[in-house]
Amino acid sequence: MPNIKQLEDLTTQVRRDILRMVHKVNSGHPGGSLGCAEFFVALYNEIMDRNDSFDMNGIGEDLFFLSNGHISPVFYSVLARSGYFPVEELNTFRLIDSRLQGHPTTHEGLPGVRIASGSLGQGMSVAIGAAQAKKLNGDGHIIYSLHGDGELQEGQNWEAIMYASAKKVDNLISTIDLNGQQIDGSTDDVLPMGSIKGKFEAFGWTVLEIEEGNNLEAILNGMAEAKSNTGQGKPVCVLLKTVMGNGVDFMMHTHAWHGKAPNDEQLAIGLEQNTETLGDY
């Protein structure tokens, strides 16, 4: 059994990383990053079967694709703290000449990143291609992907969702960050999408829900169940119900912190609510 306390400590440290990264450059997307901190920590530490060193082709390991690239702070923090690059490099986030671009890219050669993302709606297609490459290679590992709920308004997703079930891409687990928020407001205000669960099911996917998407045990159990559903002829969708801005009280339950950095005072409050565990970068 994983040591939940250790994972919780890591999550707290990742939250500190996120806050400090976006504060330093007064830009970036803390809300969605904080909401997915537990998911990333669980994914990279317990769920995925990963090789020690990074190789673009990722033969013989599980792979992850981030489609909603604006939550790069949580991605970078967890990649660094999983050993892909030095944690000190988090200091360079969004600065000139950095490998840590505002949105993730392979262009600068940052280990751990296999595709550029940021322009929304493209990641599921890429994940499907990587999953089909695994099948061609006789590689039984899993492809994981993460998508925002607002991102599902992009039509390419539905081309991909239709294709994945039609072609029985059953080595794919696509997680939707169901935080109900997007830049202009709640998803229900901006463009109500009805039942996302119903839509995925109608498109032929196996759909699982993680009601407590900020609870590490719930995530571990839910993702283990998702994994047990792979190889059954259907792609697997996980609806991860998260709270945007989770772990920093004034950032929670609002879209206000989607793409806004805290000021000095707000940073201090946020860090006070997440005391240092594994050491700041």
Partner 1 sequence: MKIYTYTEKKDTRSGFGAGLAELGRTNPNVVALCADLIGSLKMDKFIEENPERFFQVGIAEANMMGIAAGLTIGGKIPFTGTFANFSTGRVYDQIRQSIAYSGKNVKICASHAGLTLGEDGATHQILEDIGLMKMLPGMTVINPCDFNQTKAATIAIAEHNGPVYLRFGRPSVPIFTPADQKFEIGKAIQLTEGNDVTIVATGHLVWEALEASKALNEKGISAEVINIHTIKPLDEEAILNSVSKTGCIVTAEEHNYLGGLGESVARTLALNKPAPQEFIATNDTFGESGTPAQLMAKYGLNSNAIIEKVKKVISRK
In whole angstroms, give the CA distance from residue 32 to residue 129: 26
Binding of residue 6 to partner 1 (CB under 8 A): no
- CB nearer to partner 1: pick between 5 and 107: 107
Q: Among residues 56 and 202, whose Cβ is nearest to partner 1?
A: 56
Q: Are 183 and 167 in contact (CB under 8 A)?
A: no
Which residues, numbered 92-131, are part of the site for partner 1 (CB under 8 A)? Answer: 105-107, 114-119, 122-131
Instruction: Among 17, 38, 139, 170, indicate the residue that binds partner 1 (CB under 8 A).
Output: 139
Q: Please, where are the H alpha helices in the chain?
A: 4-25, 30-35, 37-42, 72-81, 123-136, 155-166, 187-190, 196-202, 216-228, 264-272
Fill in the DSSP letter of residue 49.
Answer: -
Measured between alpha carbons, how far is 161 from 146 in angstroms, rounded to an integer?
A: 13
CB of 119 to partner 1, least distance (A): 5
Cβ–Cβ under 8 Å, residues 74 and 112 = no
Residue 168 touches partner 1, criterion: CB under 8 A: no
Q: How many residues bind partner 1 (CB under 8 A)?
A: 39
Give me the least distance between CB of 113 and partner 1, in Å please.
9
The yes or no reply on residue 28 touching partner 1 (CB under 8 A) is: no
**Which of 9, 46, 159, 217 lies at the binding interface for partner 1 (CB under 8 A)?**
159
Tell me the DSSP string of 55-81.
Answer: -TT-TTS-EEEESSGGGHHHHHHHHHH
Does residue 13 touch partner 1 according to CB under 8 A?
no
**Which one of 3, 6, 137, 228 is in contact with partner 1 (CB under 8 A)?**
137
Minimum Å gap between C-beta 165 and partner 1 is 12
Packing angle, helices 4-25 and 264-272, rounded to 10: 180
Which residues contact partner 1 by CB under 8 A? 56-59, 63, 65, 105-107, 114-119, 122-134, 136-137, 139, 155-156, 159-160, 162-163, 166-167
